[in-house]
Amino acid sequence: MPARTFRAPLCVITAVLTAALTPTPANAHTPTLKAMCADNQAVLSVDLRYYNNDRPNVLRITDNTTPLDSRTFGTYFRRTYTAPGTTAHTFTITVEAWDDRYWTRGWSFTKTLTTPPCSTPPPPPPVTTTLPPTPPPTIEPPTTTTTTTTTTTTTTTTTTALTLDWPTTRPKPAVIPAATDTGLPDTGADVTAPLVIGLLLLTGGTVVLLLLRRRANNR
């Protein structure tokens, strides 16, 4: 009977000590993750507590598939990450606890947190188009046209043909009336031949005189 009396309290004390020394899921491996907007920025808060530090645990964080952090930690890890709030963000947090290598106890996990755009992006600056200065108009000098006039002097030589004007009127032969009776003796000689010769000489002299006069006029 006395042995039973001492055995019961000993079992209770052993159970209490075992419960106190053995970590339970309620108070061990406690992650606290938050994503929010603050001061127009996206903010991610990571708080990991009561992890077993006998071996290193692994933490990886990405922001929209961009690596944000990758490290190992022990019992505790706490950090806040910020990102521009002009766009939405998708944070992926992966924790690998060394004592939950098969991901069956809930200490190893992957969790995704999102934030909307936390601020309105400023409008783009106005596009200013600068036109090049307009060059001054080009004034062309007046075109000087040189006209060359060639004067051809034509000398005309007039040759005056020598024209002989022959008399168209023949001098009528002088008719000498026959004397019926002059009182001269009749010698029986013919006077016709001397008259013809005299007429020819008179005509030739007239022609020569006309030629000489025309030459004098041409000079």
What is the per-residue pLDDT for 24? Answer: 46
What is the per-residue pLDDT for 137? Answer: 76
User: Which pLDDT tens digit goes with each residue over 33-42?
Assistant: 999 999 999 9
Which has more pLDDT, 8 or 69?
69
Q: Could you tell me if residue 110 is inside a domain?
A: yes
Q: Could you tell me if residue 177 is inside a domain?
A: no
Closest-CA residue to 44 (of 8, 84, 4): 84
Q: Could you tell me if residue 88 is inside a domain?
A: yes
Q: Could you tell me if residue 71 is inside a domain?
A: yes
Which has more pLDDT, 9 or 216?
216
DSSP state of 87: S
Give CA 48 to chain center in angstroms: 62
Rounded distance, CA 41 to CA 81, Å?
Answer: 10
Q: Domain residues for 81? A: 30-115
Model confidence, pTM: 0.47
Rounded distance, CA 110 to CA 94, Å?
Answer: 4
Buried b (16+ CB within 10 A) or exposed e, 183-216: eeeeeeeeeeeeeeeeeeeeeeeeeeeeeeeeee
What is the per-residue pLDDT for 25? Answer: 47
How much is the average pLDDT of 157-183? 53
Q: Of 61-70, 95-104, 134-143, 178-187, which gets the smallest average pLDDT?
A: 178-187
Quickly state the pLDDT bin for 10 (edges 50, 70, 90): low
Q: Could you tell me if residue 182 is inside a domain?
A: no
How much is the average pLDDT of 194-208? 87
What is the per-residue pLDDT for 16? Answer: 40
Q: Could you tell me if residue 5 is inside a domain?
A: no
